[in-house]
A and B are shown apart, each in its own frame.
Chain A
Amino acid sequence: MGRGKQWRILIVLLWMAVVVSACHENHRPIALKIGLAEEPRTLNIWLASDANSRKVLSLIYQPLYVYDPETLDLVPWLAESMPVYDAQALSYTVSLREAQWSDGTPFSSRDVAFTGRLIQSFRVPRYASSWSFIKRIETPDARTVIFFLKQPMAAFLSGTLSTPIVQDKEWADFAEIAKTTEKPLATLINRRMQHPVGTGPFTLEQWRQGAFLHLKKNPHFFGSGKTINGRTLGPFVEELVYTVFGTSDVAILALKKGDIDMFWWPIQPGYLSDLSRQKKIRLFTNEKSALYFMGFNLRRPPFSDASLRRAVAYTIDKEFIVSRILQGQGTKMFSVVPAENRFWCCTALPRYGDGMSREDRLKAAYRVLVEAGYSWAVPPVDAAGNLQPAKEIRLPGGQPMGRFTILTPPADYDPHRATSGLMIQEWLRELGMPAYARPMSFSAMLDQIKGHHDFDAFILGYGRLRLDPDYVRNLFHSKNDKSRGWNMSGYHNSTFDQLADRSTSEMDPFKRQALVMEMQRLIARDLPYIPLYKPSVVEAVRTDRFEGWVEMLEGIGNIWSMVQVKPVSNDGA
C-alpha cells in the first residue's frame, strides 16, 4: 500500500471519528453536567480529605442534621426532629426519619450507632474528636438513638450530629476484618469503594477514573417529594455527570459552549467580565466561611510585643487588599469568626486603621509604637507631624530591630496571599521596619510554622471553617502550642484558656455565645492573628437547562441545590 494511500486512510478514519462521535445520538434522561477542577481521589468516606471527593460523597452519605441555607441553623435531615437534651442523664435523644439505603434496606438507629462506634474504635482522623466524648450509644428502637456524653460538650450538635452516617451492613464485616490486621485504620481508610451505599439523593453508577463520574437519582431517597425545612425536595434531575477540567480556562470554555451546566469551583476575577456578558450564564457570588490572616510568632521578639502587633494592624490597608488584590471579590475581616456566621461573630471589635487614610494609619501606628518605647534613627513622622521616610526602628531596649520575614505561599499557589505579603512588607517599611516578604512552598511553609515554630510572621488562610466556633479555641488555646499543634503563634493567655474551656462545655447556646464573643475580644486585643480578608465564592452556571440553585454560605454547590435543581420548564427534554 502506498504511503499516500495510508495517509488518506488515516485522514478518513479521523474524519469518521469526528462525524460519528458528533452524531452519536443519546436517548438517555437529561443529565446535569458538573465540571470539577480536579478528579475526586477516593470514594472512601474515611479517607476523603480533598474537596472534590467530598463534592461527590456529600450526595451519597448523609448526616442526621444539616445547615439551613438561610439561617445557618442546624435542621433535621436524617433525623426527624431536633435532639432532646436530658441534662440529668447528660444525653441527647434523636428520632430518625423513616428512610432507606440506596440498596433498598431500611435505615435504622443501628446504622447511626454503628457509625459512631466505628469512628471511636478506629479513631478515624477528622471525625474522632467529635465522638471522643460520647460515653455510649443506645438504640431503644429502630428509629431512636440516645447518645450519652462523658461530659457536656457544646460541639456535639454541630460536630457529632453532622457526621455522615454509613451503613452497618456495608461496613460491619469489613471493620471486623480490619481490626485483625496489623494497621486497622490503614486497612479501613484504604478500602476501595466501588459502589458506596448511602441514603443521599444520588448513587454512584459508574466511575471511569480520569474521565468522569456518573451518578443516578436514588429511588429510595428519603426526601423525595417531601417538604423538609420548607423546601420541596427532589432530586428533579435523573442523572449527574462529573467531568474534570485541567485548567479553569478550558472549563470556562466548556461552560460557554454548553458542555457543562455548572463549574463547581470558584471563578477567578479575571474571567468575570467575560462571563457576565454571556446571556446563558449566570454568576452567583456568595461568602465563604473562611479566614485569611497574618499570624505572628509570639514566642520570640520582635512580635512577642503586643504593641508592635497592634502597630502592624494599623498599617495594613485591608480595603486596598480587597479592592485591588482581590479585585473586589472578597470582604475585610476584623474577627477570626467570619461575619456571615452571625450568631457567633463578635462585631464590637477594634477595627485597627479601618476607614483611615494612609497618612492617618501610619500616624496611628507611630503613636502606638512611641507609647510602647520604640524609637527611630529617623522617625516616620517629623516634629511638624508630617510623614517622612523612616529609618532604622529601634526596640524599646534601644537595639535596632532585626530583619524579619513574612512567610507567604508562592504566587502560583495563591497570588492573593503572596501579593498581600509584598504589600504588607512595603507598608511596614514605611515605619522603618526591616520587613521581608518571603514566598515559599506551601508544605515547607507549614513545616516551618507548625512543625518547627521557626518564623517571625506569616500569611495563611483557612478556606473552609466549620460554622461551630470551636476552632477559635483550637487556634489559640495554650495547650495547642506544640509541634504540629494549631496554636501556631504560641499565644498564651490563661483568661482565654478558661473562657475556651468553658465554651466547650457550655450547653446553653446564648451563654456559649457570650463566651465566644469574649474570646474574640481577647484575640482582637492581643492580636496573635490579624484577620485580613476572606474571598468570595463566585460560581457560574448555565441558565438554559437547569434552574433552582440554592445559594448559601460557601456557594451554590450544596445538598439543597442538588435536591432542588430542575430542568428549565421550557426544556424539550
Chain B
Amino acid sequence: MGLKRFIFRRLVEIAVIFFVIMTILFVLFRLAPGDPVSRMVDPSMTPEDARLLMETMGLDQPVWTQYLYYLKNAATGNMGISFHYGEPVSHILMNRLPNTILLFTTSIILSALLGVFLGKIAAWKQGERIDTLMTIGALFCHTLFLPWLALIMIWFFAYWVGWFPITGMVSPEVWIDPDAGFLIKALDVLHHMALPLMTLILIHFGSYLLVMRSSMLETLKDDYILTARAKGLDEKTIRDHHAAPNAALPVVTSVGLSLAFSINGGALTETVFTWPGLGRELVFSVSHADYPLAQAAFLLIAIVVLLANLVVDVLYAYLDPRIRY
C-alpha cells in the first residue's frame, strides 16, 4: 500500500473514531447526575430562575434535539457558549491552549533530550556505578508524587531561596507597567515557567532515560556496532553517531504521543503552579457541568491525539527505511 493511500485510510478511520468520541462525550455528560443549575445553592433563586437558566443553556430541549444541535455546531466549528464564562468555548480554549503547549511541550522536549542523553551514557556504562545511580535516580524521580514535588519546589526555590515567583505565568506588576517592553515580558514568562518546567522535567526525564537505556543496550549488541568498532572508530563516535540515533526510535514514539497528550495539560501541575492552561479548565468544566466547554476541550484533545498517532506512523516510515506501508 502506498503512503498516500495509507494516510487516506487512516484519515477516514480518524473521522469515524472522532464521531464515536463525540457521541460518547455527549452521552457521558448527560448521564452524569445533576446539571449546571442544580449546583447553584441559593434559596433566593426561584424554580422559575432555574427554568430560565436551563432555557438559556438550551438544556430545556429534548436530548435528541440537543444532540442534533451539538453535531450541527461541531460540523460548523461552533462549539457553543460556555455556561459559566458566557463566552464562545473556542475563545476560552484558544486563550488557554498556547499556555499549555508552551509549558508541556517544552517540558517533554527537554525531558526527552535529558533522558536520551543520560540513557545512552547509562547504557554505555552498564553495570558501573554511574549506571546504577542513574537508573535508581530515574526510577525515584519518575515515581515522585507530582503535587508533593511541586509544593516542595515552590517552598524551596520560590519561598525560601526566592529565585522564582511562587505561581502564575506572569507578574502583574510587569505586565501592567506600560514601560515594560516585549523582552522584559518574555523573560518574565520564562522566569515563571522555570519552576513548573524543572518539576515536570524531574518527573518525566526518568521514563525517557529508562527507555533509551534499554533500547541502547539492545542496539549495542547489533552487528553494525561490532563493525564500527572493527573499523577502529572511537568509542564516542560509535555511541553518539551509530548506536544512539537508532536506539532513540522508541523514544521518538513516546515523545510523539506525549506531545499529543500534552495539550490536555496536567491538571495537577497547572493547579499547583496556577498555570492558566487547558488542564485547569478541563477540571473546572467537568466539575461545574459546563458541557460545551468540557466537550470541546475533550474533542480538541481527541483530535490532536488521533492526528499525532498518524504523524508518528508516518514519521516511523521516514526514520526507519525498513518500514513501508
Residues of A within 8 A of B (CB): 13-14, 16-18, 20-22, 24, 26, 28, 31, 33, 38-39, 41-42, 44, 47, 49-50, 123, 125-126, 128-129, 159, 183, 185-186, 189-192, 205-206, 208-212, 214, 239, 241, 243-247, 249-250, 253-254, 256-257, 259, 441-444, 446-448, 450-451, 460-466, 470-471, 474-475, 480, 482, 484-486
Contact = CB atoms under 8 A, between A and B. Distances in A.
A17 B165 CA distance: 11
A446 B86 contact: no
Contacts of A129: 44, 46, 48-49
Contacts of A31: 172-173
B191 A17 contact: yes
B148 to A, nearest CB: 11
Contacts of B166: 250, 253-254, 257, 259
A38 B273 CA distance: 13
Interface of B: 32-35, 38-53, 55-57, 81, 84-87, 95-96, 99, 151, 154-155, 158-159, 162-177, 180, 183-184, 187-188, 190-191, 194, 270-274, 276-277, 280, 284, 289
B274 A484 contact: no
Contacts of A246: 167, 270-274, 280
A268 B53 CA distance: 33
A447 to B, nearest CB: 4
A293 B127 CA distance: 64
Q: Which of B40, B42, B188 has the most chain A CB within a 10 Å cutoff?
A: B42
A24 B272 contact: no
Contacts of A190: 81, 86-87
Contact of A126 (B45, B51, B86): B45
A17 B34 contact: no
B86 A26 contact: no
Nearest to A191: B86
B188 A24 contact: yes
A447 B38 contact: yes
Contacts of B270: 246
A125 B95 contact: no
A125 B53 contact: yes
Contacts of A241: 172-173, 176
A26 B175 contact: no
Given A20-B187, A245-B167, 16 more contacts: A31-B173, A38-B284, A47-B86, A123-B48, A126-B42, A210-B99, A212-B170, A246-B167, A246-B270, A246-B271, A246-B272, A253-B159, A254-B167, A257-B166, A443-B34, A482-B47
B272 A212 contact: no
Contacts of A24: 171, 173-174, 177, 180, 184, 188
Contact of A212 (B51, B163, B172, B180): B172
- Per CB-CB distance, the 3 closest pairs between chain A and chain B, nearest first, are A210-B276, A443-B34, A444-B33
Contact of A465 (B43, B87, B183): B43
Contact of B86 (A192, A209, A210, A485): A192
B82 to A, nearest CB: 8
A18 B191 contact: yes
Contacts of A39: 276
Contact of B187 (A21, A33, A470): A21
Contacts of B177: 24, 26, 28
Contact of B44 (A126, A253, A460, A482): A126
B154 to A, nearest CB: 6
11 contacts: A123-B48, A126-B45, A189-B86, A214-B172, A241-B173, A247-B271, A253-B166, A257-B162, A451-B38, A470-B44, A474-B43
B154 A447 contact: no
A20 B280 CA distance: 29
B272 A447 contact: no
Contacts of A125: 45, 49-50, 52-53
Contact of B190 (A14, A159, A448, A484): A14
A17 B50 contact: no
Contacts of A189: 56, 86
A128 B34 CA distance: 24
B293 to A, nearest CB: 11
Given A17-B194, A208-B170, A443-B33, A245 B55 contact: no
A208 B43 contact: no
B34 A444 contact: yes
A17 B170 CA distance: 12
B172 A245 contact: no
B38 A446 contact: yes
B151 to A, nearest CB: 6
Contact of B56 (A20, A186, A249): A186
Contacts of B163: 18
A185 B154 contact: no
B274 A128 contact: no
A211 B38 CA distance: 29
Given A125-B53, A471-B44, A442 B99 contact: no
Given A210-B276, A211-B175, A17 B187 contact: yes
A205 B187 contact: no
A157 to B, nearest CB: 15
A250 B274 contact: yes
B41 A211 contact: no
Contacts of B170: 208, 211-212
Given A21-B174, A28-B173, A485-B47, A44 B86 contact: yes
B85 A441 contact: no
A191 B194 CA distance: 37
A249 B154 CA distance: 10
A471 B50 CA distance: 16
A28 B172 CA distance: 12
Contacts of B47: 480, 482, 484-486
Contacts of A254: 166-167
A466 B43 CA distance: 9
Contact of B48 (A17, A128, A257): A128
A208 B81 CA distance: 20
A212 B176 CA distance: 10
Contacts of A214: 172, 176
Nearest to B166: A254
A443 B55 CA distance: 19
Contacts of A249: 151
B49 A128 contact: yes
Nearest to A10: B110
Contacts of A20: 183-184, 187, 191
Nearest to A255: B166
